[in-house]
Copies of this chain bind each other. A is one copy, B any other.
Amino acid sequence: MTYPDWLNQPETPFLLIDEVRYKNNIERLYKHVENLGSYVRPHLKTLRSPEAARCLLKHSHSPATVSTLAEAEHFANIGYTDILYAVGISPHKLDRVANLIRQGITMHILLDTLEQAKAVREYAINHNVTFSSFIEVDCDGHRGGIPPESDELVDIAIMLQGKGTILTGLLAHAGESYHCHHIDELHKAAKAECDAIRRASERIRAHGISCSILSVEATPTALYSQELENINEVRAGVFSTFDLVMKNVGVCSLDDIAISVVTSVIGYNRKKNWIFIDAGWMALSRDRGTASQQEDFGYGLVCNMDNQPLHKIYVSHANQEHGIITLPPNSDFTLDDFPIGTRLRILPNHACATAAMHKNYQVLLEDGQQQIWSRITGW
């Protein structure tokens, strides 16, 4: 046994962060992006934790990305001043954004319709506030944004020139890169994302409109970009912990995964070669992101407490508070290798989804000591 004894103490299930791996992952991406002359605006949505953010944001003015206004408000309250809310704005939410701006926070909002731009402008004029906006550009048809060649892009940019609004940047998200399997594909996806946003920037510039920030995002493209010319910032989130989905995409190894769920054995079904654990989908999440990938890890890959993966042993089923590990017929292990109470670590499919099931995280620090990090909840 090489893991520290305190890992046997917290009640299971609990989420565990490995600080060494977490910091190494952060250093890897930051170095890569900085070597290419750009800057990381980390997405804080994966762990949504003030303590975790300290490793990602060196200064109070370091740029940050969030996925909810609850995060924006919390990070603003503890001193961070440059925050991008990277989900399309609903006019109902402008009150809270305006409050943050009045507190002195550099808040950026995101939009991709003329309708939103009009609503933002109207609100700004009526409430005597100025909103900094990013326009979302579609680079791969994955989700939202408008194509770089669309007329609407220019119309929105023009709309944002008026009183009450500033066009700060253009933003893309290469979500399709999660479906890549080879380095060549990752290189291509990264280039396509940068090209789309540079093209969008040229088009609005041709109409005499400039914006100061071109922003790209997605962990796979961030790690496999070969050039970031004119790209001011790179957003990425899951790179800090990685997970089994990212392992299948090919951007990390199992040894890089900094997140696991610690669980206890609570029973068996001997006929089916099943081991029951106290981590069901309440602890692991319902995410089955690896189901359509090259290796389907079920609800997670089983490791011993030293974090050594047990070959081909997965959490095959998940009920609310029960997980089921199925031992394959030709396994090196039998049920007797897993007495009641045995602790195991489960590597998750999708770090963001698994972390979302926990209100705080146990952290194994570099020196082997224990720390607890909290999670910001709600919207």
Is there a chain B Cβ closer than 8 Å to A197's Cβ? Answer: no
Q: How far is the CB of A199 from chain B (nearest CB, A)?
A: 17
A362 to B324, CA, bound (A): 34
Contact between A341 and B90, CB atoms less than 8 A apart: yes
Q: How far is the CB of A336 from chain B (nearest CB, A)?
A: 10
Kindly identify, within residues 75 to 117 of chain A, every residue whose CB is under 8 Å from any CB belonging to chain B.
Answer: 87-93, 96, 111-113, 115-116
Contact between B322 and A143, CB atoms less than 8 A apart: yes
Give the residues in chain B near A285, CB-CB below 8 Å: 286
Q: How far is the CB of A32 from chain B (nearest CB, A)?
A: 24
A295 to B359, CA, bound (A): 34
Q: How large is the interface on A (under 10, 10 to 19, 20 to 34, 35 or more residues)?
A: 35 or more
18 interchain pairs, CB-CB under 8 A? A11-B92, A11-B379, A14-B379, A67-B320, A87-B322, A88-B267, A90-B265, A92-B264, A112-B267, A113-B268, A115-B339, A116-B267, A116-B340, A143-B319, A144-B269, A175-B319, A282-B356, A286-B286
Scoring A residues 256 to 279 as 1 if CB is less than 8 Å from chain B, else 0, what string do you get?
Answer: 000000001111110110001010
Kindly identify, within residues 332 to 369 of chain A, every residue whose CB is under 8 Å from any CB belonging to chain B.
Answer: 339-341, 352-353, 356-357, 359
A351 to B136, CA, bound (A): 33
Which of B12, B90, B353 is within 8 Å of A266, CB to CB?
B90
Give the residues in chain B near A266, CB-CB below 8 Å: 87-90, 116
Kindly identify, within residues 105 to 156 of chain A, every residue whose CB is under 8 Å from any CB belonging to chain B.
Answer: 111-113, 115-116, 119, 136, 138, 141, 143-144
Chain A: residues with CB nearer than 8 A to chain B?
A: 11-14, 45, 67-69, 87-93, 96, 111-113, 115-116, 119, 136, 138, 141, 143-144, 175, 264-269, 271-272, 276, 278, 281-283, 285-288, 319-322, 324, 339-341, 352-353, 356-357, 359, 377-379
Contact between B276 and A320, CB atoms less than 8 A apart: no
User: Which residue in chain B gives the minimum CB-CB distance to A286?
Assistant: B286
Give the residues in chain B near A119, CB-CB below 8 Å: 340-341
Contact between A353 and B269, CB atoms less than 8 A apart: no
Which of A87, A90, A276, A281 gathers most chain B CB within 10 Å? Answer: A90
Give the residues in chain B near A356, CB-CB below 8 Å: 282, 357
User: Which residue in chain B gives the minimum CB-CB distance to A90?
Assistant: B264
User: Which residue in chain B gives the minimum CB-CB distance to A138?
Assistant: B269
Which of B138, B288, B324 is within 8 Å of A143, CB to CB?
B324
Give the residues in chain B near A379, CB-CB below 8 Å: 11-14, 282-283
A324 to B141, CA, bound (A): 13
Contact between A144 and B267, CB atoms less than 8 A apart: yes
Give the residues in chain B near A359, CB-CB below 8 Å: 377-378
Given contacts A92-B11, A282-B356, A286-B353, contact A269 B143 (CB under 8 A): yes
Contact between A92 and B12, CB atoms less than 8 A apart: yes
Which of B69, B115, B286 is within 8 Å of A340, CB to CB?
B115
Which of B11, B321, B340, B352 is within 8 Å of A67, CB to CB?
B321
Q: How far is the CB of A278 from chain B (nearest CB, A)?
A: 6
A265 to B92, CA, bound (A): 11
Give the residues in chain B near A278, CB-CB below 8 Å: 87-88, 90
Q: How far is the CB of A62 from chain B (nearest CB, A)?
A: 22
A353 to B379, CA, bound (A): 18
Which of B112, B271, B281, B324 is within 8 Å of A353, CB to CB?
B281
